[in-house]
Amino acid sequence: MGTTSDRAGTGTPTGPARGPATPGRRAGARRGPHRGMACLAALLVPIVAAGARAGDPSVPAGADVAARPPAAKVKILDTLVFEPKTLVVHVGDTVEWHNDSLLVHTVTADPKLAARPVDVALPPGADPFDSGFLAPNATFRHTFERAGTYRYFCIPHEGANMVATVEVQAATAAGPDRDSGG
The domain limits of the chain are 51-169
Domain 51-169: homologous superfamily in CATH? Cupredoxins -  blue copper proteins (2.60.40.420)
> Measured between alpha carbons, how far is 110 from 80 in angstroms, rounded to an integer?
19
What CA–CA distances, in Å, run from 127 to 56, 67, 72, 94, 115? 11, 22, 20, 15, 19
> Measured between alpha carbons, how far is 178 from 172 in angstroms, rounded to an integer?
8
Under 8 Å between Cβ of 133 and 106 = yes
Summarize pLDDT for 101-128 with one digit per residue, the tens: 999 999 999 999 999 999 999 999 999 9
Residue 128: cis peptide before it, omega within 30 degrees of 0: no
Summarize pLDDT for 53-101 with one digit per residue, the tens: 333 344 443 445 456 799 999 999 999 999 999 999 999 999 999 999 9
